[in-house]
């Protein structure tokens, strides 16, 4: 059972020995010194139990003990992190024990025996020395930790100071940057800028204000009132704003217009933006000359009036058919009020048959940029009317939209129908007349044969030949009239150009002529339904008159907004003097009607044709298709 003595509290000592008598003796000797308080234990396990409850300044332990010897006890303490000074006090004096004890962390090794007084004095000395050394180490460690803490605090303070210095430097830099930035903005904003004091004196202006006013900064700053630049009729109103802004900032307008007077007395319309500088009684103002804007507004107003007064319907709608703008003519044509009209979609205005074409037309416009077409619209009362629409892609509020200019073609359609009716009647009369004349010519030719056979006189043969020539010319005139009356009878339509060339050139192969069709797929041509005759005639002429032709090439390219179709061969070509004559009626070795008819067929929709080849190198015909009469995929 442990025994705790009383004595000086300077050093608390745990003494472990399995000899009770020696425990008591040693405790008395040590406590007599006056600075030791000794607790005893009869075994190492008992000592371990005490150490779990209390810390000691030093431990003195016997070596040879049951259950656990002194070195095992020491090793246990060190392995568990206990660094309490430890002295082996034993009767055994083997060198290996001493070495093992010191190797396991013993501070001293004292052998029992000899003079008790000297022995216990040495033990007390070693205890004090070990404790003093450990306390010194602890104090040193404590001082070291305090020094480290002080160093850390100093480093932290230094870092904080450095951080504060950096913050101050950053703040100064930000202040300089802010000052430079605001000075740059003030100077380079593009508008006239000025800072005004409470007494209306101008304290600062920029270069733009110098230009506006005609005065220099030296003449203005600190010397002139802003009222000197304001028209007298606007001055009192602006002074009231000036006073109100300093007593009730929210009650004074921040922007308004006034008349500005420069050094020369010239009046200018100005837009003013003004506000109080925070935490001051000064205000900053910006002036913009709005003469151009006023002029533009007036031009827009006049343009809007012109658009509203236009005889054509003008609309803008998005790609989904929602109307973004319409002029008055549009409302009048359809019988709707503006509110009613803008609640409608384009599909609701088109007749069902016309509405089915809306999506393809929009896609065509997106592909080609613009187009012209006819539509049928419905009025509010249910009646329908035709429109000729010219549409193009525009940008409206930064998004694609379609601008349409539409003309009511009801009267034109009625006139066209009346003209078609008259043409049908004329053509009927013409066909009947041609039929009757042809019959009479046939009879005339028959009677001429009979007459010549009844009058076998060589003197009259020349007359009979001339009569037959006249009859043949009349027959040719009848055939020409038959063909020519078909031109323009039917309305022009869109044709697949590449398909036309392929069909018209089917006979080229039979003449061992290679036809190269380089026109882009999907290209279309707006022309008279007789357009096939044009290409057929070009190929037929190449075969008939080209002499050495082995190849014909048809290609196309863009020339500005027009599209050029080129038909060229490698034959003998056309003499320079005949390049224009070949389009005259009756010119040539055959009927002389082919190219004459070709030019008139193309002219129905404004298409032209000319010959540009070099004699001896082949014929080259250029067909120029104007904008609006061709649809060629972009990039081709």
pLDDT for the residue 593 = 64
Instruction: Give the mean pLDDT of 27-34.
Output: 81
pLDDT for the residue 401 = 95
Beta strand 514-517 with 551-559 is parallel
Q: Round to whole Å and give the CA distance between 391 and 532.
A: 29
The enclosing domain of 124 has a CATH number of 3.40.50.2300
Q: What is the pLDDT of residues 351-389, one digit of tens each?
A: 998 888 999 999 999 998 899 999 999 999 999 999 999
In terms of domains, do 471 and 503 share one? no
Q: Round to whole Å and give the CA distance between 501 and 553.
A: 10
Max Cα-Cα span within the chain: 193
Q: What are phi and psi of 478, to 5 degrees?
A: -65, -45
The enclosing domain of 539 has a CATH number of 3.30.565.10
Instruction: Give the mean pLDDT of 487-497.
Output: 81
Residue at 108 is within a domain: yes
In terms of domains, do 503 and 480 share one? no
Domain count, the chain: 5
In terms of domains, do 198 and 84 share one? no
DSSP 81-93: T----EEEEES--
In terms of domains, do 316 and 424 share one? no
Q: Round to whole Å and give the CA distance between 605 and 143.
A: 108
Highest mean pLDDT: which of 125-134, 476-485, 616-625? 616-625
CB half-sphere exposure, 107, CA atoms < 13 A: 21
DSSP 367-433: HHSEEEEEEEEE-TTS-EEEEEEEEEEEEETTEEEEEEEEEE-HHHHHHHHHHHHHHHHHHHHHHHH
The enclosing domain of 204 has a CATH number of 3.30.450.20
Beta strand 58-61 with 86-90 is parallel
Report which of residues 507 and 432 the model is more confident about: 507
Instruction: Give the mean pLDDT of 225-244.
Output: 95
Q: What is the pLDDT of residues 91-144, one digit of tens each?
A: 766 777 788 888 888 888 888 777 777 778 888 888 888 888 888 887 887 888
Q: Round to whole Å and give the CA distance between 122 and 117.
A: 9
pLDDT for the residue 390 = 94
DSSP 63-127: SS-SSS-HHHHHHHHHHTT----EEEEES---HHHHHHHHHTT-SEEEE--S-HHHHHHHHHHHH
Confidence of residue 5 (pLDDT cuts 50, 70, 90): very low
Residue at 366 is within a domain: yes
Mean residue pLDDT across the chain: 85
Residue at 303 is within a domain: no
Residue at 240 is within a domain: yes
In terms of domains, do 458 and 326 share one? no
- In the predicted structure, residue 473 carries a pLDDT above the cut 80: no
Rounded percentage of the chain residues whose pLDDT exceeds 70: 91
Contacts within 8 Å (CB) and 24+ apart, 412-420? 412/388, 413/386, 420/489
CA distances from 372 to 389, 454, 630 (A): 6, 67, 11
Q: Round to whole Å and give the CA distance between 435 and 418.
A: 25
Domain boundary among 460, 484, 508: 484
Domain boundary among 427, 458, 484: 484
Q: Round to whole Å and give the CA distance between 258 and 475.
A: 86
Structure tokens at 526: 């707006």
In terms of domains, do 239 and 315 share one? no
Residue at 280 is within a domain: yes
In terms of domains, do 7 and 138 share one? yes
pLDDT for the residue 620 = 95
Residue at 399 is within a domain: yes
Residue at 225 is within a domain: yes
Return the sign of the alpha-carbon dihedral for residues 454, 459, 460, 466: positive
Would you call 245 exposed, middle or buried from its count of C-beta atoms within 10 A (0-12, 13-18, 19+)?
Answer: buried
pLDDT for the residue 330 = 94
Structure tokens at 540: 């037929």
pLDDT for the residue 4 = 45
Which residue range forms the structural domain that includes residue 59? 3-143
Domain boundary among 237, 265, 295: 295
Return the sign of the alpha-carbon dihedral for residues 250, 251, 252, 255: positive
pLDDT for the residue 8 = 37
In terms of domains, do 290 and 330 share one? no
In terms of domains, do 20 and 90 share one? yes
CA distances from 317 to 286, 314, 344, 361 (A): 39, 10, 11, 13
Instruction: Give the mean pLDDT of 200-229.
Output: 94
In terms of domains, do 511 and 584 share one? yes
Among 319-328, 462-471, 533-542, 561-570, which is the least confidently predicted range? 462-471
Instruction: Give the mean pLDDT of 80-88.
Output: 89
Among 113-127, 426-440, 466-480, 543-557, which is the least confidently predicted range? 426-440
In terms of domains, do 75 and 113 share one? yes
Residue at 170 is within a domain: no
In terms of domains, do 286 and 342 share one? no
């Amino acid at each position: 059972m442990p025994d705790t003595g009383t004595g000086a509290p300077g050093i608390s000592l745990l003494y472990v020995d399995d000899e009770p008598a020696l425990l008591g003796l040693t405790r008395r000797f040590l406590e007599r010194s006056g600075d030791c308080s000794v607790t005893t234990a009869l075994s190492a396990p008992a000592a371990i139990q005490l150490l779990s409850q209390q810390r000691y300044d030093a431990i003195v332990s016997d070596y040879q003990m049951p259950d656990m010897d002194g070195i095992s006890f020491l090793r246990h303490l060190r392995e568990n992190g206990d660094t309490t000074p430890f002295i082996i006090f034993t009767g055994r004096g083997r060198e290996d024990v001493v070495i093992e004890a010191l190797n396991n962390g013993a501070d001293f090794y004292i052998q029992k025996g000899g003079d008790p007084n000297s022995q216990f004095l040495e033990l007390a000395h070693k205890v004090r020395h070990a404790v003093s050394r450990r306390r010194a180490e602890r104090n040193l460690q404590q001082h070291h930790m305090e020094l480290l803490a002080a160093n850390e605090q100093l480093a932290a303070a230094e870092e904080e100071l450095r951080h504060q210095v950096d913050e101050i430097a950053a703040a100064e830099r930000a202040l300089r940057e802010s000052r430079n930035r605001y000075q740059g903005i003030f100077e380079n904003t593009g508008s006239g800028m000025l800072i005004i004091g409470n007494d209306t004196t101008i304290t600062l202006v920029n270069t733009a204000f110098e230009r506006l006013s005609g005065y220099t900064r030296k003449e203005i700053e600190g010397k002139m009132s802003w009222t000197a630049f304001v028209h007298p009729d606007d001055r009192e109103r602006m002074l009231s704003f000036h006073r109100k802004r300093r007593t009730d900032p929210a009650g004074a307008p921040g922007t308004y217009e006034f008349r500005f007077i420069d050094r020369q007395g010239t009046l200018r319309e100005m837009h003013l933006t003004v506000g109080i500088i925070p935490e001051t009684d000064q205000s900053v103002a910006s002036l913009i000359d709005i003469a151009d804007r006023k002029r533009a507004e007036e031009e827009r107003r006049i343009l809007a009036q012109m658009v509203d007064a236009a005889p054509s319907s003008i609309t803008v709608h998005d790609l989904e058919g929602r109307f973004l703008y319409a002029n008055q003519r549009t409302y009048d044509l359809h019988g709707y009020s503006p509110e009613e009209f803008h609640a409608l979609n384009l599909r609701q205005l088109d007749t069902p048959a016309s509405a089915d074409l809306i999506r393809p037309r929009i896609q065509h416009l997106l592909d080609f940029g613009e187009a012209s077409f006819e539509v049928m619209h419905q009025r509010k009362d249910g009646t329908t009317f035709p429109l000729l629409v010219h549409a193009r892609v525009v940008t409206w509020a930064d998004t694609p939209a379609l601008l349409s200019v539409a003309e009511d073609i009801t009267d034109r359609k009625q006139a066209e129908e009346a003209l078609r009716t008259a043409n049908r009647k004329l053509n009927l009369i013409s066909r009947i007349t041609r039929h009757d004349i042809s019959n009479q010519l046939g009879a005339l030719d028959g009677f001429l044969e009979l007459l010549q056979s009844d009058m076998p006189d060589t003197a009259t043969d020349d007359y009979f030949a001339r009569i037959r020539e006249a009859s043949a010319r009349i027959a040719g005139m009848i055939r020409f009239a038959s063909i020519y009356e078909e031109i323009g009878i039917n309305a022009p339509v869109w044709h697949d150009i590449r398909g036309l060339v392929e069909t018209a050139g089917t006979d080229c192969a039979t003449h061992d002529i290679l036809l190269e069709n380089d026109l882009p797929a999907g290209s279309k041509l707006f022309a008279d339904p007789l357009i096939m005759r044009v290409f057929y005639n070009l190929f037929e002429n190449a075969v008939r008159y080209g002499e050495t032709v082995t190849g014909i090439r048809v290609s196309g390219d863009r020339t500005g907004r027009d599209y050029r179709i080129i038909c060229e061969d490698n034959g003998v070509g056309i003499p320079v003097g005949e390049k224009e004559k070949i389009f005259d009626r009756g010119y040539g070795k055959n009927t002389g009607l082919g190219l004459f008819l070709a030019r008139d067929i193309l002219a129905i929709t404004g298409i032209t044709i000319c010959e540009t080849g070099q004699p001896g190198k082949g014929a080259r015909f250029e067909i120029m298709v104007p904008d609006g009469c061709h649809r060629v995929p972009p990039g081709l």
